[in-house]
């Protein structure tokens, strides 16, 4: 029997994502000036206020208040009427030094012996139902909001948009797990105030369906375009007026959108958040590494769908173990346990090896903090960072290294494909 599956996304202006972006901007600035920085930064945002807290061990000094303000302005909170803007909000820092007791389990005489920054289990997932090996419902939810943000910044075809928004997509699947059609789309977008609420809601609905959605569809592969139809149920700002939004409408915290950040409810999630953590924290680095494994396995033809789990003990170098689930989609006679053993031979999952393989000690994290950490474009960008004393550094930074298909040949050789 056919079934429905739903995933959601939130925009860069959603309060939780504002917090994530501030935390990751701090990570990037610390790493830009001290590659060995150990950072765990949490952010809270609410009406007119930002609170920074966490633990840092670094040789550099930063103006964390200015970094927070610059991040907020870049997102688009630049007007006093939003009741939260980068130029006027208060910024309180309660960041202190990382505990020696935590640090002693991580830093060792040899970097290769670096222990895991915490205990826990991390999951990576990949499926061949999209070109970027991501679940379709989540991929479409992200695309809707990235396109909506483009429309907001263009301020041409739609001129009333504010930064906060959410989307949700429901896909109908066949019994054999093949997407058949899009059943429903939800979009809630913050907007400027209007004189007439009914006219406002009608215009927003029309603009989303007639301007936004066609722009999203035009950028999709033909097979995905075919899933769009005239029978889609649209819920556009279903609660009505949405003028009060962002941190003024709802307090935001780092790490509260972990399912949006990963696979939209497909696969699994170990529970740890990513933003605000340097790569010695395996919550982050091992989640990227398992995505890298899963994507390369699917791309190599080991299975149509793969879930990878790895687990660690704090301060211990080697992982507790690797688990693989191919959901019965492996086309050749090999058990998931046998696949896991080969994966262990191909991919070195010691924390320092992950950092080196994926180049995780570069300031690559601000770009991850909105619209998902997985399924993104691997590219190199130039970034400039400044210190309070006027010193600056310009770096070429490779983004989303865990999305590379650089292990496909190794996987095929190992599996005889």
As annotated, the binding site includes: 14, 16, 42, 55, 98, 164-166, 241-242, 250, 256-257, 273, 277, 281
Which residues fall in the annotated binding site for L-methionine?
Answer: 55, 98, 250, 281
Other Cβ atoms within 10 Å of 156 Cβ, number = 7
Which residues fall in the annotated binding site for K(+)?
Answer: 42
Q: Which of 30, 15, 89 is nearest to 254 (CA)?
A: 15
Which residues fall in the annotated binding site for ATP?
Answer: 14, 164-166, 241-242, 250, 256-257, 273, 277
201-204 LR contacts (CB < 8 Å, sep 24+): 201/236, 201/237, 201/240, 201/241, 204/160, 204/236, 204/237
Q: Which of 18, 91, 97, 13 is nearest to 52 (CA)?
A: 91
**Contact (Cβ atoms closer than 8 angstroms) between residue 169 and residue 140:** yes
| Sheet (strand 49-57) strand order | 90-97, 49-57, 38-46, 252-253
Which residues fall in the annotated binding site for Mg(2+)?
Answer: 16
Residue 322's H or E segment, with its range, is strand 321-325
Structure token pair of residue 383: 């970034």
* Residue-wise DSSP of 38-69: EEEEEEEEETTEEEEEEEEE-S----HHHHHH
* Residue-wise DSSP of 82-134: GT--TTTSEEEEEEEEPPHHHHHHH--SSGGGPPBSS-EEEEEEEETTSTTSS
Q: Which DSSP symbol is given to 377?
A: P
**Alpha-carbon distance values, 118 to 105, 349, 369 (Å):** 9, 14, 21
Q: Strand pairing partners for 147?
A: none
Instruction: Look at the chain and count its residues.
Output: 417
Cα 123 from chain centroid (whole Å): 14
Q: Which of 260, 302, 269, 284 is nearest to 405 (CA)?
A: 302
Cα separation, 51 vs 44, in Å, equals 5
């Amino acid at each position: 029997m056919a079934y429905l599956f739903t995933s959601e996304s939130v925009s860069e202006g959603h309060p939780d994502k504002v917090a994530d972006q501030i935390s990751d901007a701090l990570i990037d600035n610390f790493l830009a000036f001290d590659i060995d920085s150990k950072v765990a930064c949490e952010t809270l945002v609410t009406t007119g206020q930002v609170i920074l807290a966490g633990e840092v061990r670094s040789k550099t000094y930063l103006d964390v208040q200015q970094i927070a303000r610059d991040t907020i302005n870049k997102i688009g909170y630049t007007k006093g009427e939003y009741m939260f803007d980068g130029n006027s909000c208060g910024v309180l820092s309660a960041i202190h030094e990382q505990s020696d007791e935590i640090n002693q389990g991580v830093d060792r005489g040899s970097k290769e012996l670096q222990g895991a920054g915490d205990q826990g289990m991390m999951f990576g997932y990949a499926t061949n139902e999209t070109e970027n090996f991501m679940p379709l419902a989540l991929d479409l939810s992200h695309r809707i909001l990235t396109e909506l943000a483009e429309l907001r910044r263009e301020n041409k075809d739609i001129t009333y948009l504010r930064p906060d928004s959410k989307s949700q997509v429901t896909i109908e699947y066949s019994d054999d797990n093949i997407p058949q059609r899009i059943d429903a789309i939800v979009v809630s977008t913050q907007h400027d105030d209007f004189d007439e609420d009914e006219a406002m809601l009608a215009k927003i609905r029309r603009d989303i369906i007639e301007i936004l959605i066609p722009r999203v569809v035009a950028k999709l592969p033909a097979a995905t375009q075919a899933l769009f139809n005239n029978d889609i149920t649209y819920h556009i700002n279903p609660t009505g007026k949405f003028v009060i939004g962002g941190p003024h409408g709802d307090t935001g915290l780092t790490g509260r959108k972990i399912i949006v950040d990963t696979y939209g409810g497909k696969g699994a999630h170990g529970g740890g958040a990513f933003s605000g953590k340097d790569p010695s924290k395996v919550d982050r680095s091992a989640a990227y590494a398992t995505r890298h494994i899963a994507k390369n396995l699917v791309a190599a033809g080991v299975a149509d769908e793969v879930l990878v789990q790895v687990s660690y003990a704090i301060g211990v170098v080697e992982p507790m173990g690797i688990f693989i689930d191919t959901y019965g989609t492996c086309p050749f006679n090999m058990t998931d346990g046998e696949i896991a053993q080969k994966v262990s031979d191909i991919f070195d999952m010691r924390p320092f090896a992950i950092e080196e393989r994926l180049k995780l000690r570069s300031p690559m994290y601000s770009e991850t903090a909105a619209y998902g950490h997985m399924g993104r474009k691997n590219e190199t960008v130039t970034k400039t960072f400044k210190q309070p004393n006027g010193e600056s550094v310009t770096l070429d930074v490779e983004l989303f290294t865990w999305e590379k298909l650089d292990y496909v040949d190794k996987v095929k050789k190992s599996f005889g494909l």
